[in-house]
């Protein structure tokens, strides 16, 4: 059973067993979320609809079922962020759909690789796996799509807040022969909004082609012992030339001008995907520009700042939404709250940090928000989150109500090594939640709210050893939900863990 907050949405007809994302006829282009717009506002406001107000209601109700293709953001090290990809994106989508909980959530979504390396150059198995998983088709069970009334705007918003998504494409047509793509696309109507007289006829556009297949010329002479193979960009000028010629019948229908630098809509041909067909797609959205809150760009400088992708992942797995009250009890330089403000500009955030201003300058943190046009925290408290008086101050900042989400990146063993306390920071947090829930008026986390945190596991330790025991978990009214492991080095892993407040 799916539990969600009610929101008025148009009802959609049911689909087959595995239902692909519905796409409205007059679709949004990627132009609604440009890096330039981010630089101006530094927020991730929900995309406005490109639907023509005069469009007939019957036309709006047409929902052709098209595949979505997700291009994941590259990794600085192979396998570094891959464990969080699916969890972050699906959690973002569930947040946009306002789905608070669902049984067997992982079974609701299907990802399948769009690539299968076939280059001539030798590639290590781990690199080949990384390459093959860099682009994936994504589909969703009809149970979620029907009950939650999935919309195109929800998909776009989910992509825009997912730090590990580079871009999302809508597949319009596929064919063995590139010459057949134009007619198939015209029949499909996937670009109709860009036609002269269409709702987006003034949109600028550009065309690009990518070849991910066998790229080496077997007759070519190797240069300096190297064999030409797949490159990270995979742009093919030859395929672009052939594609422009083959798509002429489609492109001449577009009403807008070509813009190679900053188009409203990008049209792509992909070659070399699984299945062997040429794929014609349009980019519908891009992921957030997380680098604007990178530690090197901030005014408040600390020794161990959390990187943006980790901060975004915490926030998205917590399924934060606009209007929510969010607490970080180990705030540090507030990377998590910066990410929360980018994802949900109308969220209300509070940070607690034990370090004094000489180590973590709160005025500089406020400047990090204001200089990026981000909503400032309601309070940045100096103190220990295990102190009930500090927690009461945190609640007072949001009107003495429980928080909707607690997001934390606790110290990785510093306090334990000093024997400051026999308990780990996460155990201390659970104990605080347990103490506060003895009185409903003092409750720190609302029922249905999430606690999402990183847990460091070193050497021969296990995650179970590092997590609060079941007795403390029950006392806090929490229930374990999901976890993912991220390898930091040979001796240390970082686990992302999520709990839901059930009682």
pLDDT at 426: 94
Confidence of residue 253 (pLDDT cuts 50, 70, 90): very high
- Mean pLDDT estimate for the chain: 83
Reduced to 3 states (helix: H, G, I; strand: E, B; else coil), residue 226 is strand
pLDDT grade for 233, boundaries at 50, 70 and 90: low
Residue 165 has φ and ψ, to the nearest 5°, of -95, 125
Q: Each residue of 255-277: pLDDT tens digit?
A: 999 999 999 999 999 999 999 99
Is 21 or 128 the better-scoring residue by pLDDT? 128
Count other C-beta atoms under 10 Å from residue 465's C-beta: 9
Give the global pTM. Answer: 0.84
The predicted-structure confidence for 435-488, as pLDDT tens digits, reads as follows 999 988 899 999 999 999 999 999 888 999 999 999 999 999 999 999 999 998
- CA 360 – CA 328 distance, rounded (Å): 15
Question: pLDDT at position 311, please?
Answer: 98
Pick from 245, 365, 357: which is nearest to 299 by CA? Answer: 365
SS3 assignment, position 14: coil
Whether 300 has a pLDDT exceeding 60, the answer reads yes
The span from the CA of 352 to the CA of 237, in Å, is 53
Q: Determine the Cα–Cα distance for residues 165 and 286; give it in Å rounded to an integer.
A: 7
Contacts of residue 224, defined as CB under 8 A and 6 or more positions apart, other chains included, come to: none
C-alpha span between 450 and 82 (Å, rounded): 23
CB of 134 closer than 8 Å to CB of 115: yes
- Tokens 């781990």: give the residue: 126
pLDDT tens digits for 355-367?
A: 999 999 999 999 9
Token match 């001008």: residue?
A: 257
Residue 331: how many other CB atoms lie within 10 Å: 27
- Report the SS3 class of residue 484: strand
Q: What is the DSSP string of 260-296?
A: SSS-SEEEEEEESBTTS-EEEEEEEEE---GGGG-GG
Q: Distance between CA 31 and CA 204 in Å, rounded?
A: 9
Per-residue pLDDT of 40-93, as tens digits, reads 333 333 333 333 333 333 333 333 368 999 999 988 787 889 999 999 999 999
Residues 386, 428 contacting (CB under 8 angstroms) = yes
């Amino acid at each position: 059973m799916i539990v969600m907050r009610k929101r008025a949405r148009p009802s959609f007809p049911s689909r087959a067993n595995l239902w692909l994302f519905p796409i409205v006829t007059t679709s949004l282009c990627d132009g609604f979320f440009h890096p330039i717009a981010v630089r101006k506002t530094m927020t991730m406001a929900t995309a406005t609809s490109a639907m023509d107000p005069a469009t007939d209601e019957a036309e709006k109700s047409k929902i052709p079922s098209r595949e979505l293709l997700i291009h994941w953001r590259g990794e600085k090290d192979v396998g570094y962020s891959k464990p969080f990809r699916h969890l972050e994106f699906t959690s973002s989508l569930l947040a946009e759909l306002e789905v608070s909980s669902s049984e067997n959530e992982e079974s609701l979504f299907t990802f399948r690789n769009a690539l299968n390396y076939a280059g001539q150059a030798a590639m290590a198995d781990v690199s080949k796996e990384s390459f093959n998983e860099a682009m994936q088709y994504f589909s969703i069970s009809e149970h979620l799509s029907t009950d939650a009334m999935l919309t195109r705007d929800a998909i776009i918003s989910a992509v825009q807040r997912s730090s590990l998504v580079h871009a999302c494409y809508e597949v319009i047509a596929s064919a063995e022969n590139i010459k057949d793509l134009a007619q198939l696309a015209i029949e499909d109507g996937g670009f109709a909004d860009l036609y002269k007289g269409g709702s987006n006829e003034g949109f600028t556009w550009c065309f690009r082609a990518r070849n991910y297949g066998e790229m080496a010329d077997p007759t070519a002479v190797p240069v300096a012992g190297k064999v030409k193979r797949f490159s990270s960009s995979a742009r093919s000028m030859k395929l672009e030339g052939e594609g422009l010629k083959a798509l002429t019948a489609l492109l001449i229908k577009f009403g807008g001008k070509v813009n190679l630098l900053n188009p409203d809509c990008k049209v792509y041909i992909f070659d070399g995907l699984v299945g062997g067909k040429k794929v014609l797609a349009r980019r519908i959205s891009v992921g957030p520009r997380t680098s604007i809150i990178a530690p090197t760009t901030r005014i408040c400088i600390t020794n161990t700042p959390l990187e943006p992708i980790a901060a975004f992942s915490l926030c998205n797995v917590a399924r934060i939404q606009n209007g929510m009250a969010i607490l970080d009890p180990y705030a540090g330089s507030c990377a998590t709250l910066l990410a929360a403000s980018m994802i949900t500009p109308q969220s209300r955030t509070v940070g607690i940090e034990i370090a004094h201003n000489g180590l973590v300058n709160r005025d500089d943190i406020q400047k990090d928000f204001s200089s990026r046009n981000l909503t400032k925290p309601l309070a940045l408290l100096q103190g220990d989150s295990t102190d009930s008086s500090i927690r009461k101050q945190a609640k007072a900042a949001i009107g003495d109500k429980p928080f909707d989400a607690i997001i934390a990146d606790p110290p990785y063993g510093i306090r334990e090594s000093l024997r400051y306390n026999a308990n780990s920071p996460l155990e201390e947090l659970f104990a605080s939640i347990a103490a506060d829930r003895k009185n409903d008026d003092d409750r720190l986390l609302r029922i249905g709210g999430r606690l999402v945190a990183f847990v460091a596991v070193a050497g021969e330790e296990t995650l179970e050893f590092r997590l609060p025991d079941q007795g403390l978990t029950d006392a806090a009214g929490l229930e374990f939900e999901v976890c993912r492991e991220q390898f930091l080095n040979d001796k240390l892993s970082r686990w992302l863990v999520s709990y839901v407040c059930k009682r």
